[in-house]
Amino acid sequence: MQETTSSRDGDYAVRRCTPEDIPSVINVNAVTLPEHYSDYFYYEILKDFPSTFLIAENGGRVAGYIMCRMEYGLSMTRRFGLAKKGHIISVAVLREYRGRGVGTKLIREALEEVRKENGKECYLEVRITNEGAIELYKRLGFKVTSTLHGYYKDGESAYTMALSL
Ligand SMILES: CC(C)(COP(=O)(O)OP(=O)(O)OC[C@H]1O[C@@H](n2cnc3c(N)ncnc32)[C@H](O)[C@@H]1OP(=O)(O)O)[C@@H](O)C(=O)NCCC(=O)NCCS
């Protein structure tokens, strides 16, 4: 998987993350999101789910990333039954690269990889005040499936949003 998106400001290549990219991914996470993870967590996710851990590069710089986990459990898009599903753990784009389709491209590519892993649906949690991200997910076809009250450490609630693949 190696694709390039063109934009006014340059090219964004979306490719699989490597262990060497992890420090840059941790930096993107640190400056964009309040939810941080141990370094170990990133390396473990990369080891266990390499095909759905992607980065967007611009001129050799990591502009954004998406990391997912494949899970098996109750379907979130059908009323009954179990499903293999992709869980988007975290997605972020550095502020200076936003609004150019990088986030959309990362998510689309990850969904394609979840499909290849035989995932039948994909879901995520998002802060209920994160209007930009919620709008982006809706445009990609995700629907709100539940509200997780007080989900985050600071007490804010989350929506779960899911998409059938
Ligand atoms: C959410 C995020 C990944 C989107 O990345 P991006 O590269 O800017 O996304 P795109 O350029 O593909 O945006 C596509 C669409 O999303 C919506 N969108 C994105 N940011 C938005 C904002 N701040 N306000 C309103 N809509 C927004 C718009 O519909 C946009 O389409 P448009 O550019 O035609 O208006 C990025 O804003 C980010 O890293 N935010 C901080 C981290 C975060 O909140 N991650 C999600 C946690 S669940």
In the chain, what percentage of residues exceed pLDDT 70? 94
Q: Is 143 in the pocket of ligand 1 (CB under 6 A)?
A: no
Q: Is 156 in the pocket of ligand 1 (CB under 6 A)?
A: no
- Judge contact between 120 and 84, C-beta under 8 A: yes
Average pLDDT over residues 18-45: 97
> Which residue lies with its CA nearest to atom 45 of ligand 1?
92
Average pLDDT over residues 63-77: 96
Query: Is the model's pLDDT at 10 over the cut of 80?
Result: no
Strand locations in the chain, DSSP E? Answer: 2-7, 10-16, 54-58, 61-74, 82-93, 121-127, 143-148, 158-164
Average pLDDT in the chain: 94
- Rounded to 5 degrees, what are φ and ψ at 135? -60, -45
pTM exceeds cut of 0.75: yes
Query: Is the model's pLDDT at 9 over the cut of 70?
Result: no
pLDDT for residue 4: 59
As assigned by CATH, the class of the 2-124 domain is alpha beta
- Judge contact between 109 and 67, C-beta under 8 A: no
Ligand 1 pocket mutation, candidates 29, 67, 93, criterion most atoms within 8 A of CB: 93
Atom index in ligand 1 nearest the CA of residue 136 equals 16
Query: Is the model's pLDDT at 8 over the cut of 70?
Result: no
Q: Is 137 in the pocket of ligand 1 (CB under 6 A)?
A: no
C-alpha radius of gyration, the chain, whole number: 15
Q: Is 33 in the pocket of ligand 1 (CB under 6 A)?
A: yes
> Which residue lies with its CA nearest to atom 5 of ligand 1?
103
Q: How distant, in Å, are the alpha carbons of 24, 54, 64, 132, 145 from that of 93?
A: 12, 12, 4, 12, 25
Atom index in ligand 1 nearest the CA of residue 130 equals 44
Distance 98 CA to ligand 1 centre (A): 7
Q: How confident is the model at residue 148 (pLDDT cuts 50, 70, 90)?
A: very high
Q: What is the pLDDT of residues 90-129, one digit of tens each?
A: 999 999 999 999 999 999 999 999 999 999 999 999 999 9
